[in-house]
């Protein structure tokens, strides 16, 4: 979808963009080739930027996977790669300017007679592509599946092992190849987990990798995917102390993963979601089955059904031991006051998942607790509702679900996972 037009200013390339929903058909951009391409990034072609509205800052616009075509780029993505194809030749990397940018003599659209026109991209509401062009491989392969809806619907009643593909958003965050924490997939490039998983290693992302689509860590299988970590973004309010508020971090993957029945995103709860006490949710992870006892080979992903505990009750329980307010406003508690069943070491960062209207929501992130499955010491989770706006500012394209009250009747049971982390 490129049309070449020359003027006294420079060679101009009219570029139709894929745009995220909700949106009108995309506008034309002109690309001004630059004699000094921007820096390279981890094996990628030159990055290009577009001036933001009213000339304030720079904002990404579009990217292309050579030679398949364009794909939408969220504002959270760093630079923008502009690699168009015209008559077998690629456009040079450079600065991309909107038609209304001051560098050009006023707003102008690509001439309709020369423009390719656009059509909706099937299967991706709100996305567009040039008429007659092939869908970008990055979109054609992913199809951006609905969040929170695994294709495997079986449940093991009374068991502790999950079934294969049951929780396709649960990932293993590994340090030097060894499982460190769990996490949850939000989009094709972002994972969410607990910030404390990266204590003392925040500036060493190369030590970490993320394993997706693995039911058993000891036998991940050929359909699993392992991706390096580009960087980690902890919440700015996190203080790196055990039991601290805002124990949440976003993990940027080195490249996009491929969605499949084994690898799917989970939903975030929207503002309408409320989970009252005794709502039954689920936790999942590869952590220890009890203090000092690691999950045995083949390290099958564990699951446990847990009820939400009233926040005032939980606050009183932990106040007695700590002598100060231990449960902050961004925390929620879940589990059993009698102990015996809980999350444990290695489960940190994993999801507290609640099913609402047929979709699984990430209600919380496993953060901390005293011991493993101790009496009157339920697991403590960081509430996603409390930090949803922060996540949305960084991660473009995360899917929200809501409109219904949480329900305790979620339909399946399990035994112990092992204690709190």
**Same domain flag for 243 and 290:** no
Domain-embedded: residue 176: yes
Please tell me the distance from the alpha carbon of residue 134 to that of residue 70, in angstroms, as a whole number. Answer: 10
Kindly report the number of other CB atoms within 10 A of residue 186's CB atom.
24
- pLDDT at residue 382, as a whole number: 95
Residue 274 belongs to domain with CATH number: 2.40.10.10
**Same domain flag for 273 and 249:** no
Question: Domain ends where: 253, 287, 315?
Answer: 253
Mapped onto helix, strand or coil, the DSSP state of residue 340 is coil
Q: Look at the block and give the residue holding tokens 């038609």.
A: 99
Q: What is the 3-state secondary structure (H, E, C) of 62-96?
A: EEEECCCEEEECCCCCCCECCCCEECCEECCCEEE
Question: Domain ends where: 253, 284, 309?
Answer: 253
**Same domain flag for 217 and 292:** no
- pLDDT at residue 87, as a whole number: 23
- pLDDT at residue 195, as a whole number: 95
**Same domain flag for 206 and 286:** no
**Same domain flag for 289 and 365:** yes
Domain-embedded: residue 301: yes
| pLDDT tens-digit map of 23-37 | 344 343 333 333 333
Per-residue pLDDT of the chain (421 residues; tens, 9 = 90+): 222 232 222 223 333 333 333 334 434 333 333 333 333 223 332 233 333 333 333 333 333 333 333 333 444 433 333 333 222 222 323 333 332 222 222 233 333 333 334 444 443 333 444 445 444 333 333 346 788 888 654 332 223 667 777 899 999 999 999 999 999 999 999 999 999 999 888 889 999 999 999 988 888 888 899 999 999 999 999 988 877 899 999 999 999 998 988 999 999 988 778 889 999 999 988 887 766 677 878 888 988 899 999 989 988 888 755 555 688 999 999 988 776 665 666 688 999 999 988 889 999 999 987 666 567 788 899 999 999 999 998 987 778 876 433 333 332 222 233 333 3
- pLDDT at residue 235, as a whole number: 94
Domain-embedded: residue 150: no
| pLDDT tens-digit map of 231-257 | 999 999 998 887 789 999 999 999 999
Q: How many residues appear in the chain?
A: 421
Taking alpha carbons only, the member of 163, 245, 235, 236 closest to residue 192 is: 235
Please tell me the distance from the alpha carbon of residue 74 to that of residue 80, in angstroms, as a whole number. Answer: 10
- Per the structure block, which two tokens stand in for 154? 């079986």
Q: Which residues contact 125 (CB under 8 A, 6 or more apart)?
A: 21
Domain-embedded: residue 7: no
**Same domain flag for 364 and 294:** yes
Taking alpha carbons only, the member of 194, 155, 160 closest to residue 341 is: 160
Please tell me the distance from the alpha carbon of residue 127 to that of residue 125, in angstroms, as a whole number. Answer: 6
Domain-embedded: residue 363: yes
Give residue 328's domain range.
268-385
- pLDDT at residue 42, as a whole number: 30
**Same domain flag for 237 and 272:** no
**Same domain flag for 283 and 228:** no
Catalytically active residues, by annotation: 196, 247, 348
**Same domain flag for 174 and 279:** no
- pLDDT at residue 398, as a whole number: 78
- pLDDT at residue 397, as a whole number: 75
**Same domain flag for 297 and 362:** yes
| pLDDT tens-digit map of 362-396 | 999 999 876 665 677 888 999 999 999 999 989 87
Domain-embedded: residue 341: yes
Helix residue ranges per DSSP H, 230-286: none
**Same domain flag for 294 and 208:** no
- pLDDT at residue 183, as a whole number: 96
Domain-embedded: residue 287: yes
- pLDDT at residue 373, as a whole number: 58
**Same domain flag for 229 and 283:** no
| 131-to-108, 112, 347, 356 alpha-carbon distances in Å | 21, 13, 48, 39
Count of structural domains, the chain: 2
Per DSSP, what are the bridge partners of residue 283?
A: 304, 352
Taking alpha carbons only, the member of 35, 411, 17, 42 closest to residue 255 is: 42
Domain-embedded: residue 281: yes
Please tell me the distance from the alpha carbon of residue 246 to that of residue 62, in angstroms, as a whole number. Answer: 33
Please tell me the distance from the alpha carbon of residue 239 to that of residue 196, in angstroms, as a whole number. Answer: 9
Taking alpha carbons only, the member of 90, 95, 87 closest to residue 65 is: 90
- pLDDT at residue 78, as a whole number: 35
- pLDDT at residue 376, as a whole number: 72
Burial environment of residue 311 by CB neighbours within 10 A (0 to 12, 13 to 18, 19 or more): middle
């Amino acid at each position: 979808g490129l049309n070449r037009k020359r003027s006294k200013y420079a060679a101009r390339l009219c570029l139709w963009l894929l745009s995220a929903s909700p949106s009108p058909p995309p506008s034309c951009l002109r690309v001004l080739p630059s004699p000094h391409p921007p820096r390279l990034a981890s094996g990628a072609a030159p990055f290009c930027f577009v001036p933001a509205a009213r000339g304030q800052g720079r904002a990404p616009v579009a990217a292309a996977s050579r030679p398949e075509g364009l794909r939408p780029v969220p504002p959270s993505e760093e630079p923008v790669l502009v690699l168009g194809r015209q008559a077998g030749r690629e456009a040079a990397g450079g600065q991309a300017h909107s038609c209304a940018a001051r560098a050009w003599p006023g707003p102008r659209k690509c001439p309709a007679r020369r423009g390719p026109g656009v059509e909706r991209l099937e299967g991706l509401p709100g996305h567009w592509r040039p008429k007659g062009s092939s869908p970008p491989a990055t979109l054609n392969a992913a199809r951006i599946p609905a969040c929170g809806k695994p294709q495997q619907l079986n449940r093991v009643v009374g068991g502790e092992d999950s079934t294969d593909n049951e929780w396709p958003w649960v990932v293993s965050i590994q340090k030097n190849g060894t499982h460190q924490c769990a996490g949850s997939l939000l989009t094709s490039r972002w994972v969410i987990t607990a910030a404390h998983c990266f204590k003392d290693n925040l500036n060493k992302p190369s030590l970490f990798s993320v394993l997706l689509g693995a039911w058993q860590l000891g036998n991940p299988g050929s359909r699993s995917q392992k991706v390096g970590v580009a960087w980690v973004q902890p919440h700015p309010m996190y203080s790196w102390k055990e039991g601290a508020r805002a124990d949440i971090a976003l993990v940027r993957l080195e490249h996009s993963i491929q969605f499949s029945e084994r690898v799917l995103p989970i939903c975030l709860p929207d503002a309408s979601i409320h989970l009252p006490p005794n709502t039954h949710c689920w936790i999942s992870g590869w952590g220890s089955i009890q203090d000092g006892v690691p999950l045995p080979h083949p390290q099958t992903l564990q699951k446990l059904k847990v009820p939400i505990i009233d926040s005032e009750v939980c606050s009183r329980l932990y106040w007695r031991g700590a002598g100060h307010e231990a449960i902050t406003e961004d925390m929620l508690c879940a589990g059993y006051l009698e102990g015996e069943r809980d999350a444990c070491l290695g489960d940190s960062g994993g999801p507290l998942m609640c099913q609402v209207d047929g979709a699984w929501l990430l209600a919380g992130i496993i953060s901390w607790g005293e011991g493993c499955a101790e009496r009157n010491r339920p697991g403590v989770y960081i509430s996603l509702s409390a930090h949803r706006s922060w996540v949305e500012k960084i991660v473009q394209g995360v899917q929200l679900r809501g409109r219904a009250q949480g329900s305790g009747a979620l339909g399946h049971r399990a035994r112990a996972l092992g204690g709190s982390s």
